[in-house]
Structure 1
């Protein structure tokens, strides 16, 4: 899957996107997990403001 993402970003539109990683706490167990996404540069603040 990582190869597909990298290949699609190398077609020239990769500078308009950012890979973001957010740490999310599970309400049941209290443990933390990481949520990764590739979003447009304009949507980075929205990604981190969502709960």
Structure 2
């Protein structure tokens, strides 16, 4: 996909508030939430087996 095509398609979604992060740029409050969900998932998986 060309940059021009991407830009055209992305303009069709002006209300889209999704944001991408890398491991280096993720805000601490989002990282904390993801880690808490991962911990909960591991605990839940431990009860199944």
Output the TM-score relative to the length of structure 2. 0.27
Q: Larger relative contact order (C-alpha < 8 A, sep ≥ 6)?
A: 1
Name whichever structure is richer in strand by fraction. Answer: 1
The TM-score normalised by the length of structure 1 is 0.26
Q: Which has the larger radius of gyration?
A: 2
